[in-house]
Structure 1
Amino acid sequence: MIKEIIVVEGKDDTVAIKRAVEAETIETGGSAINADVIRRIKLAQERRGVIVFTDPDHAGERIRKIITKEVPGAKHAFLTQEAATSKGDIGVENASVEAIRTALANVRTDGRNEESAITWDDLMEAGLIVHPRAAARRLAMGNRLGIGYCNGKQFYNRCRMFQISREEFEAARRELNEKEGATS
């Protein structure tokens, strides 16, 4: 049984989570997250902790940002778009049991109060910003680091928020460069 309550978008996500692990969920009801749902998430965070596990799409990111702002200290689980896609539909409900378990095993904790060694210069040198393939490289790096896809500014913020170490960052960068070198 997972101690924390998992925050998902809807009923189908709850079904998928319960297929993979023994856990309780709070459903946001989609991207129209309201004050009552936020109050329930805050209470869950105070009593047991929460894991935000939203779809790897625009609506899911919007919900994640709202919860991150309103509920400090929430944990986050991420699926890649590939792992959450079935027949063109993206969502937690489409992920395999193994993908859900892996995402929950790699939960990231919000550590905004601590400084990260990752800098803007690191992102630039890694080709994650101001680079012709920056978006594709951020997608690959985000998947390797377990923080999902986002724009350059949000990628930087997530590196800080989830305390991505320089060692983790450099290992993911090497792996990405080796993969790209092999496909060139």
Structure 2
Amino acid sequence: MKDLYVDKVLIVEGKSDKNKVKNIVKEPLEIICTNGTISHSKLDEWIEFLEDKDVYILVDADEAGEKLRKLFKREFPNAEHLYIDRMYREVATAPVHHLATVLLSANIDVHTEYLEMG
């Protein structure tokens, strides 16, 4: 298998978020998880790894998600922040058509059938 360079990276909180988004996205996109928190050493690794990539942040619309978002705004000032509707609270429980719309609005290519599910 060829090792492709992926220039877009999406940061999410958990594995269930990653799995849900992975099914919706149509283009090469690396999805990395914070697992709710992130250590300073892991953050330093990410800063180096992500310096030449387009970074997108998609976290839950809750207190923990907002705390992570605040950290990422400071550490990755050029990252694009994607927001789910507050009524869904969690990425993992948001309807797939809503997530597809959010991702598409950031110019991330999605499978069109997810847009039609709304």
**TM-score of the aligned structures, taking structure 2 as reference length:** 0.74
Q: Distance in 2 between matches of 1:44 and 1:7?
A: 13
Which one has more relative contact order, counting CA pairs under 8 Å at least 6 apart? Answer: 2
Match of 2:59 in 1: 54
List per-residue Cα deviations over 1:2-41 (Å, max 9, x = no partner). Answer: 84110000101101111211432111110x2212332243
Change in Cα spacing, 1:33 to 1:66, as seen in structure 2 (3 Å) is: same
Q: How does 1:76-115 map to 2 (within 5 A)?
A: 76-82=81-87, 84=88, 90-107=89-106
SS at match of 2:10: strand
Aligned length: 99
* Structure 1 residue 8 corresponds to structure 2 residue 8: no
Give the secondary-structure state (helix, strand or coil) at the position aligned to 2:86.
coil
CA deviation after TM superposition for structure 1 residue 44, in Å: 4.1
In the alignment, structure 2 segments of 5+ residues that lack a partner are: 1-5, 107-118
**Larger Rg computed on CA atoms:** 1
> Is the 1:41–1:71 Cα contact (8 Å) retained in structure 2?
no
**Cα distance 1:44–1:5, how it changes in 2: closer, same or farther (>3 A)?**
farther
Q: Give the CA RMSD over aligned residues.
A: 1.8
Q: Where do 1:162-181 residues align within 5 Å?
A: none
TM value normalised by structure 1: 0.49
Q: Is the 8 A contact 1:26 1:41 kept in 2?
A: no
> Relative to structure 1, is the Cα distance of residues 40 and 96 closer, same or farther in structure 2, using a 3 angstrom cutoff?
farther
Question: How far off is 1:81 after superposition?
Answer: 1.9
- Residue 147 of structure 1 corresponds to none
**Rounded Cα–Cα distance in structure 2 between residues aligned with 1:96 and 1:44:** 31
Q: Structure 1 segments of 4 or more deviating over 6 A?
A: none
Q: Is 1:18 the counterpart of 2:19 in the alignment?
A: no
Percent of residue pairs bearing the same amino acid type: 30
Give the AA of the match of 1:37: K
